Chains A and B, each alone.
Chain A
Amino acid sequence: MGTRRDLGLLGGAAVAAAAAERAGIQPANAQTVPSASQAAASNHTIADGPDTLGFLRGLHDTMRYNLGAIEREIRELEQNPSPTAVDRLKARAFVLSFVGNNTSAARALEVLVSQEQGRTSRNLGKLAQVLTRRAQEGDAANALRYARLGLDLARDPSERWLANQTMAVAALQLDRLDEARASAEAALREQEDPRSRAVLEIVEAQRSAPTAPQEAAQPGMPQPQAFSVMRNLVVRGVISPETLLSSAGAGLGQPIRLSREDLTYFASREAF
């Protein structure tokens, strides 16, 4: 299976076949003409061009945001006349997180919050955020704990937003939709942010997806409302075209659910 970027640039028929494959359905003749349902799925990719561009622009914006954040961290450290070990550690941890090296960033942030001076709301929130991105076993639960503590220590709306937003994402990863919605709404009460709105949209998309086998969508019948929500998220760069295509595949008989990987991808967005 290709990467998201590969899939995002694939042609319609190949994309549909790939989507079916991801959905766990082997086409009768994968090398020939797609089935009707596969064609239906491929119809959703007619607008793939703008979606892909939106996705790529979202990546670009994230990288640009991260570069600015890295420069800010370096500048702050340079301008600090007497940086402490905690100051150096904080800069290192944050830059690692902006680079996207989540494992190294998580370790550095864990060291940071293990120090009394380093246990700030922002640092705890960042650690929680990095864990939701890494999304290894136990990370979401730990992220919730760190974010809650970060919320307790928060001193301003931006810190409270980060804590609530990260709690929302971690709750999503744990499939606790009510908790995710409550945290996202709490985040929005602190400050308006499209990322918090996106969490609410994802919660709704998840809610509209059938969970029990008897509620599964009929083959060839994608869930229109959920699909619409998710397509909107792609355009805004919240989720990747691959996820949208997977949802198209869902119309082939699989429930529409955002995967852990999708949520991790969502959590990885610094800005969009």
Chain B
Amino acid sequence: MTTHAACVAEPTQTGFPGQVFSGDRYALTDFVGIDLADLLELCTYNPLDDFVIASGSVVEGFGNRSSDIDLFVVRELAAPSVECFLYEPKSKRHVDITYVSKEEICQLLQRIRGVQAVPSDWVSLQRAAFPDIDIYHRLLIGVSLTDPLGDDWRKYKFCRRSVGREIAYQSIVAGRARWIDAVGAFLDGQREHAAYVARVAFEHSVDAYAALNGETNPSPKWRWARLQRLAASGRDQLQIFQFFREAAGLTPRLSLEDLLRYAGTVLSEAQALLTRGHLHGLDPLTDPCARYEPVGEFDYILRMVENGEVIAQRYG
């Protein structure tokens, strides 16, 4: 048996978790060092009707030897969601079990259907709640440990593109607002505050960019791990991870101006990806989004920041 402890014994070159799990339920349980039966016996479920879905960082490839195992028991019967936390001594891991009903799953799928059109003002668009996005992502990547009679986990149409767009939309709206705040602070000479807010804006832009490229884990703690994985797989066309490592890492040496410029660029690219989808084969959204792109405040200020003379004219 190959245990996960063995798999992560050597740190990856980048210093980020890099083991991507692929395989079936038996490979997964071997991977984390626990017997399938031991894992399932922790759950209360009907073997003919209910799904038990394994998910979390160990499935996603972000885990380590002490990462807990997330299980979702998707019950046929309607029942309120319940969560319990157990310790599995053989694998020395905690097991986090969430009980939900199939009905709740269907409702979740209705709530997160992706940003299908860009309204004239994104701020007014209803946003999915973070817990919904989080559980959606976990179930999206989940591995079914059971085969209920007459049911198939694949029939629940979790769509990476839908949740990616939802995350991107929310991140772009938040990032754009922070970026404009940062520019304002910068123009008023509040450099320390501008640097902090610009960093926040940059992180939002990274989240949007990563989500649109398929990295849909919404947790901020995996932000740079997601980006590293994008880079390792060749999907980081903007080379943001390289930028992060060299300039905006744990000890940023980047100038405030560069950070603002870079955050604005990534935001702009993410917005273009979301609205046009032309870079990665995503379906373009129907709204031309003209208000923001050619004459909108977003690109306008970006151009001003890139050109000090324009800034002086506009805000001087």
Task: Verify B36–A85 contact, CB threshold 8 A.
Answer: yes
Q: Which residues of A contact B36 (CB under 8 A)?
A: 85, 89, 111
Q: Flag the segment in A113-121, A182-190, A225-233 that touches B.
A: A113-121
Q: How distant is B155 from chain A, measured CB to nearest CB, in Å?
A: 15
Q: How distant is B233 from chain A, measured CB to nearest CB, in Å?
A: 31
Q: Does any Cβ of A come within 8 Å of B296's Cβ? A: no
Q: How distant is A10 from chain B, measured CB to nearest CB, in Å?
A: 40
Closest to B146 in A: A114
Contact A116/B147 with A111-B47, A145-B48, A149-B48 known, Cβ cut-off 8 Å: yes
In B130-156, the 8 Å CB interface with A consists of 145-149
Q: Flag the segment in B37-45, B100-108, B178-186, B267-275 that touches A.
A: B37-45
Closest to A146 in B: B48
**Measured CA separation A114–B36 after assembly (Å):** 11
Contact A89/B37 with A115-B146, A115-B147 known, Cβ cut-off 8 Å: yes
Q: How distant is B73 from chain A, measured CB to nearest CB, in Å?
A: 11
Q: Which residues of A contact B35 (CB under 8 A)?
A: 85
Q: Does any Cβ of A come within 8 Å of B85's Cβ? A: no
Task: State how many residues of chain B have any CB contact under 8 Å with chain A.
Answer: 16
Contact code string A142-167 (vs B, CB < 8 Å = 1, else 0)? 00011001000000000000000000
Q: Does any Cβ of A come within 8 Å of B26's Cβ? A: yes
Task: Verify A111–B26 contact, CB threshold 8 A.
Answer: no
Q: Out of B41, B48, B148, which one reaches A111, CB within 8 Å?
A: B41
Q: How distant is B234 from chain A, measured CB to nearest CB, in Å?
A: 35
Q: Does any Cβ of B come within 8 Å of A92's Cβ? A: yes
Closest to A117 in B: B147
In A97-118, the 8 Å CB interface with B consists of 107-108, 110-116
Interface of B is mostly: loop
Q: Which residues of A contact B26 (CB under 8 A)?
A: 84-85
Closest to B47 in A: A114
Identify which of B26, B48, B145, B148 gathers the most chain A CB atoms within 10 Å of its CB: B48
Task: Verify B47–A110 contact, CB threshold 8 A.
Answer: yes
Q: How distant is A143 from chain B, measured CB to nearest CB, in Å?
A: 13
Closest to A93 in B: B37
Task: Verify B147–A108 contact, CB threshold 8 A.
Answer: no
Task: Verify B41–A107 contact, CB threshold 8 A.
Answer: yes
Identify which of A115, A119, A145, A146 gathers the most chain B CB atoms within 10 Å of its CB: A115
Q: Which residues of B contact A110 (CB under 8 A)?
A: 40, 45, 47
Contact A111/B147 with A145-B48, A149-B48 known, Cβ cut-off 8 Å: no
Other than the known A85-B35, A89-B36, A115-B147, what 19 A-B pairs have Cβ atoms closer than 8 Å? A84-B26, A89-B37, A107-B41, A110-B47, A111-B41, A113-B47, A113-B48, A114-B40, A114-B45, A114-B47, A114-B48, A114-B147, A114-B148, A115-B146, A116-B147, A119-B147, A145-B48, A146-B48, A149-B48
